[in-house]
Amino acid sequence: MAEILRQGNVWHLRNGSVSYALAVLPGGVVAHLYFGPRLARVSADNLLKHAGLPGAEGFAVQEFGLSRLPQEYPSFGLGDLRAGALTVEAPDGTLAVDLRATGAEVLPGKPGPEGLPATFGEDAQTLRLELKDAHTGLVAELFYSIFDDCAAVARSVRLTNAGAEALTLTRAFSLCLDLPDADWDFITLSGAWARERAVVRRPLVPGEQGTSTRSGASSLQTSPFLALARPGADEDRGDVIGAALVYSGNFAATASVDQFGTTRALLGINDQDFAWRLEPGESFRTPEAALVFSGNGIGGMSRAFHALWLDHLLPPRWARAPRPVLLNSWEAAYFDFDADRLVAIAEAAKRAGVELFVMDDGWFGRRDDDTTSLGDWEPNLGKLPGGLGALADRVRALGLQFGLWMEPEMVSPKSELFRAHPDWCIHIRGRESIEFRHQLILDLSRPEVQDFIVDAVSRTLRESGAAYLKWDMNRNFSNIGSAALPRERQRELPHRYMLGLYAVLARLTKAFPDVLFEGCASGGGRFDAGMLAYVPQIWCSDDTDCLERCRIQYGTTLVFPPSAMGSHVSAVPNHQTDRVTPLESRFAVALGGSFGYELDPRRLSDAEQAALRVQTDFARRTQALRLTGRLYRLCSPFTGNDAAWVTVSEDRSRALFTLVRARAVPNTPPRLVRLRGLDPARSYRIDETGEVFGGDELMQVGLCCPLPMGDAASLLYALEAVDD
């Protein structure tokens, strides 16, 4: 049960598992007190004494008290020597802001933030603190929401210019978390195209450390997430705090250790190349940041995030709904197709038990390669005589659903759209634009561009009757300028772009609630909680090699649930690594996400095609368990030769166990893998072997895993609780 208690000047938000506490000090400075396991009660005294203050009564901004005070939303320039969460340029050109509390209220449920993706929940309680800077007239409202059923707190800030002159925000982070010590490991995700979201863990050191992006998207290279784990914490044990930004654009996630050995974590829109002008009366809303706490290690943190996203973020229509087994044409045909070839692939897919056929890039304009036609969303009648509807009808006549690919945010310089509207792209007037993949980015800050995209996508969905849309985005920002913004607002463009994108996605997903949208950005280049508020799944990586995928999916599940990861079986030799791996292993790994294929089944042997029929049936039968069960990572491919995980149904009656060994090692005993999350008091039967073991034994002794020899060998076991 979520509740918000007030004890004197202390606000205490809590539910069954976590507490979050802050204090409004005399004079109005807001101190952070606590985030962690639920407390019966909390006082400000211990923390303030630790901060060198005689207690709440004795606090004064003078004497550099702020530099030692744990704070909720600090700024720089009035004595706190640490990096702040907020920087505001006052009319006189100075930067200091002194926020003092002027009011507070408790709201039922979870308001806003308007125009931005956010968690929701009628069961939530929200604390709204109002603070004001007397010098500039800036008002900051800090929102804190706590849910009944999640070890999580969601935070965001609304900044309003209540003064008489324009102000400019040059930093407006979403989250500051001040912790009284630095005995933490810092965990972030980093990567590259085809190597997304590798786990990086290192001890905190004095000074600032962190990760950020300025590519215009949450990016292939990193992820809007940070975690602080006690040094001994592993997958199962130890305290871990996770923070994720519900945002898909440029961000910064940092942790700083100061001269007194305290830690400040900051998360929000990257302030490099960011500025936001607030005219009198105007407001700015930061993206939301979600904090989770786990006393059960990194695995517990992940499960807390997964539960939060599944129950309070993803579109409810799709969050726990079955996803069709799909086959995507990209690696099967690339740009080289016509309607007959696609229908032939679809026929083979149908025979294999696939439910949804997806036509990827190459169906529109004059697009036979990646040099042209983005923006010209009319079918290429040379390839698809009869248009989209005719092809979709042929696919549906086979008993399959039809889906397709678009990259709506882009324009090719070689396109009708670019010729008609050369200023609709992001560009700097007078400078040569840099093309990536021969394309430019449409300026989604402009309402007419938003309307164009909504119209083009709506028309495409209506004409094709598509049940699925893959929404791709394949380049970084450069030449960042908008023809529609005045000089003093140019640095607002990256965030205005995100607001435009979210407005477009909100309109389309509202108009087409039954269409399954899958996000994509050169693979997993925009895999974040912001996108997941609109699209329930995201193509996890362009790398479909099953060994590479073990790492990519392992890292992705640190924050995101298996159902969010588009994950396909592809052909061998793999198109990204040239590696040949067994079909069973490609299948076992693809089952770790929203399952599908990325190949032409006609090129498989008869035996392999028969295997696909068994696979699709198995995928369907295990779908609910795999996609919404509790995930326990058991062996990390980042630290060893094996990757293993088990997904356990909420009632602990079923589980699916997967082990993948990268490199065959001769003359070694079979590995014993200790399972997690089972009911220790029940027995489980392994479907594939008929063996029955106690849940306690499987978790304490382990499951003996006789892998076949050969590289990339795997084991996939379905477990079911049985009565002895």
Catalog residues that contact ligand DGJ under the rule CB under 6 A. 330, 360-361, 405, 472, 474, 520, 522-523, 539, 542
Q: What is the DSSP letter of 296?
A: B
Nearer to ligand DGJ, 35 or 597 (CB): 597
Shortest distance, position 523 Cβ to ligand DGJ, whole Å: 5
Nearer to ligand DGJ, 25 or 540 (CB): 540
What residues have CB less than 8 Å from 578, skipping those under 6 apart? none
Nearer to ligand DGJ, 269 or 332 (CB): 332
Nearer to ligand DGJ, 373 or 636 (CB): 373
Exposed/middle/buried for residue 651 (C-beta within 10 Å: 0-12, 13-18, 19+): exposed
Rounded distance, CA 449 to CA 440, Å?
14
Nearer to ligand DGJ, 19 or 576 (CB): 576
Written as six digits, the tokens of 113 are 């933030």
Nearer to ligand DGJ, 178 or 542 (CB): 542
Whether 542 sits among the annotated catalytic residues: the reply is: yes
In contact, 188 and 210? CB cutoff 8 Å: yes
Other C-beta atoms closer than 10 Å to the C-beta of 608 total: 15
Rounded distance, CA 276 to CA 493, Å?
9
Residue with tokens 């068994």: 614
Single-letter amino acid, residue 242: G
Rounded distance, CA 237 to CA 255, Å?
22
In contact, 379 and 364? CB cutoff 8 Å: yes
Rounded distance, CA 409 to CA 44, Å?
49
In contact, 642 and 635? CB cutoff 8 Å: yes
Set 472, 543, 545, 642: catalytic member: 472
- Nearest C-alpha neighbor of 267 from the set 626, 529, 506, 657: 529
Nearer to ligand DGJ, 358 or 395 (CB): 358
Whether 724 sits among the annotated catalytic residues: the reply is: no
Which stretches does DSSP call E strand in 479-613? 516-519, 537-539, 565-570, 594-598
* C-alpha dihedral, 319 to 357 to 391 to 375, nearest 10°: 60
Rounded distance, CA 395 to CA 402, Å?
6
Set 542, 545, 600, 642: catalytic member: 542
Shortest distance, position 590 Cβ to ligand DGJ, whole Å: 14
Quickly count helices (H) and strands (E) in the chain: 15, 38
Nearer to ligand DGJ, 307 or 538 (CB): 538
Sort strands 630-635 and 10-14 into parallel, antiparallel or unpaired. Answer: unpaired
What residues have CB less than 8 Å from 36, skipping those under 6 apart? 18, 19, 239, 241, 293
Cβ-proximal residue to ligand DGJ, closest one: 361
- Nearest C-alpha neighbor of 396 from the set 357, 437, 369: 357
Angle at 320 between CA 293 and CA 660, to 5 degrees: 70
In contact, 273 and 227? CB cutoff 8 Å: no
Written as six digits, the tokens of 287 are 């993206």
Supply the residues annotated as catalytic.
472, 542
